[in-house]
A and B are shown apart, each in its own frame.
Chain A
């Protein structure tokens, strides 16, 4: 017997756009006529890919199209993707809130889904009563809830309010209690949507800790979130959805890399700035280039190879004390490095600023680039997340002997003198 606990085959979900109700009756009728004649549903053929930014020709779209995956027992799978990529639809199908239009999913074991905390909480009922009710809605038996009741209340930290109607709770307390119930569900498979959006930092940490515990107990977890940070710390495997289909199903780090790359507008070695209005600007950037050591434009830099970032700017007038800075952030948007040019008085016209990256090297992955131009601490221009820098894992010949790995090593500062005696 295999260890696969969830197996999805050709899952697709079609939605009808526009107002349900206009023309619904006639479409229903046509469907019925086709069915009676033993034909396929005529509207299954007309769906289009689900891209909300583009105007389509059809009233029907595929929110999900031909999704295939399988999850083994004990795996913690993170599902990421932009808004409208199909994450929620997939979760809804998994948690049986709605059915797929085609395809089927096999599930082994008891599954509980947490698409929202506090589902079915009744404002007039007390915390105690709601814990019982909410637990039952999630599929626990009364006995099971009663046995865990004290632990639940303890975890939530709202003991004092437990006999007060939940409508008197603060939103944080509400979520705490709701999450506590969910945390003590004992399913073999747990499906979680972004439920950690509320609650203070301390409680969020507690929740993530609890979720880690759950996954370490050998239970299978499917986690959906926009919070890349959380996904990264919880999951080992990731699935990236884009316009209703799986773009990548792989190791979580690789999946996040691709997601970040797709999120930034361009990922090119040459990037032309399109500044909307230059009227109020004394200075604005024209282009951005990444060049390798041979002064060739490249989109990826092999790890441990020197490279140069070049920025062309245009000055409408003379600027004293001109400083150009670039910032590199990790794909989790944590600031990693900031580089400033030496302040310089510049004449009006075009100038090129070159950042030579010769000493400090980065591990493989994608980095977000921010740009700022200032004079005397006053910002003249700034743009965040306008491009990414990719360090590929093709190792360069320049790599010294004391660098063993280029993945998971952080910033590589091997100029330090290291000696074993």
Chain B
């Protein structure tokens, strides 16, 4: 093709347990990154385990090939760690697709670690992106950190999404900080532009877009909704996302009779985050975005919201203070 060496074409295999139809920051990051690499002329495939009846090979936009491998999810959407059972299939795919670089995503993903292990066995280069922060205190984190240390010992390069995430990963995996790059998550700004016509005049709309789980601070949110609604009669909440804590929020809404002021949208498709189902716009209808996470490596939602012109309010945790300049974000201590 090109005789210029710097434009050498790579065959990249993205691998993670987390991919569509599962939703979240990791999933959309893998998709967007693959699309950008495809645009640059590289070959990209994605490997994940099957989801429901979505198994085998699927093609996404721009011919992005996704392998939904026949390994069942075991715990938390991750496959059972076996190392040897995945080897034949993974090896076949890596050879058949002439992969040169394997890029694993997320420290929780067993499939990513195993595939990277197999890739190193086969002499391929590996890159790993860590998307989350992890503590050091309890037994489960000690175990997970040991596994990460084992897995990353032979990894060619590690990417973290924020400086805090880098410090965390370097400590957890015992890496040389020089081997870890910080590359913040990117947002396609053309997809997130302000649309003031969608706003609700005379009202202040507070938007929450997050998986409704404990780590995202849904208990904090459930605590502030009644208080805010009581002190500010012109405030309404729009909550996008789904998860085990949804029932808690619905309970709060029920108990304080806030059905007209707290709108729960359920699961959002990424494209629709700006423009949820015609009239009930999400970001474009909002004035303020609240992020109540208890731990966060980067938080892409606050960048998307800032793109759409919302005022961002967030807990001061993890990498959040690095992401936006102070004039775009208000930070609060989680226990203020």
Asked if A and B are interacting partners, one says no
Q: Which residues of B contact A (CB under 8 A)?
A: none
Q: Which residues of A contact B (CB under 8 A)?
A: none
